[in-house]
Amino acid sequence: METGRKRIRKDFAPLTTSVSLSCLTAYSPVTQVFNAANMTYEPNRLVTPTLLRPDIIANANDGSIADPHANARLANMVWKANGTDISTLPDWSGLYSINQVGYERGTLTIYRNVLPSERISLHFEADLVDNRLGVTVSIKTDPIVLSTVDASEDTYGLSIGETQRIFYNPFLDIQHRIEWKTSHGITPTAAELAAASDGNQYQRTIPIELFKGGTKLTSGYTVKLYRINNVNSLTELSAGAEIVSISTSAIVLDLRMIEKDNFLIKAFSGATELAKIQFSVERVYPAFSCEPTNETGILPTQRERYDVAQVHCEGKIVECPSSIIKITWYTDTATITSQQHNEGAETIFNVPDTGIGSTANDDWMEVWTEAIQKGIYRTAVDANGDTFVDENGNELIFN
pLDDT at 151 over 90: no
Whether the full predicted model's pTM is greater than 0.85, yes or no, is no
Q: What span, in angstroms and rounded, lies between the C-alpha atoms of 247 and 259?
A: 23
pLDDT for 10 equals: 65
Q: What is the pLDDT at residue 152?
A: 59
Is 2.60.40.10 the CATH classification of the domain at 10-151? yes
Read off the pLDDT band of 324 (50, 70, 90): very high
* Per-residue pLDDT tens over the stretch 171-217: 999 999 999 999 999 999 999 999 999 999 999 999 999 988 778 89
CA distance 40 to 253: 39
What would you report as the CA-atom Rg of the chain, rounded to the nearest whole angstrom?
A: 27
Tell me if domain 10-151 and domain 154-284 are identical in fold.
Answer: yes
- Whole-angstrom CA distances from 186 to 171, 178, 323, 343, 397 are 18, 9, 13, 20, 21
Reply yes or no on whether the pLDDT at 34 is more than 70: yes
Distance from C-alpha of 211 to C-alpha of 328, rounded to nearest angstrom: 53
Domain residue extents for the chain: 10-151, 154-284, 289-373
CATH 3.40.50.970 fits 154-284, yes or no: no
Q: What region, left, alpha or beta, does residue 156 occupy, with left being phi > 0 and alpha being psi -120 to 50 degrees?
A: beta
Q: What's the whole-number mean pLDDT along residues 267-289? A: 92
CA distance readout (Å), 209 to 28, 107, 167, 245, 327: 21, 31, 22, 16, 44
Question: Looking at residue 336, what is its pLDDT?
Answer: 96
Residue 155 has phi, psi (to 5 degrees) of: -110, 160
Q: State the chain's mean pLDDT as an integer.
A: 89
The three-state secondary structure class of 370 is strand
Write b or e for each residue in 351-368: b if 16 or more Cβ atoms lie within 10 A of its Cβ, otherwise e: beebbbeeeeeeeebebe
Q: Which amino acid is at 113?
A: N
Flag the least confident range among 5-14, 347-356, 359-368.
5-14
Dihedral class, residue 101 (left if φ above 0, else alpha if ψ from -120 to 50, else beta): beta
Bridge partners (DSSP) listed for residue 51 = 109
Percent of the chain exceeding pLDDT 70 equals 94
Cβ proximity of 198 and 191 under 8 Å = no
What ranges in the chain are assigned the alpha helix state H? Answer: 174-183, 190-194
Q: Which residues pair with 339 in a beta bridge?
A: 331
> What is the full DSSP assignment across 44-66?
-TTTS-EEEEEEEEEE-TTS--S
Q: Which residues contact 371 (CB under 8 A, 6 or more apart)?
A: 288, 290, 309, 311, 325, 326, 327, 328
pLDDT, one tens digit per residue, over 290-317 is: 999 999 999 999 999 999 999 999 999 9
Name the burial class of residue 108, with classes exposed (0-12), middle (13-18) and buried (19+) by CB atoms within 10 angstroms of its CB: buried
Rounded CA-CA distance 114/50 in Å is 12
- Any idea of the CA torsion for 314, 317, 322, 325, to the nearest 10 degrees? 20
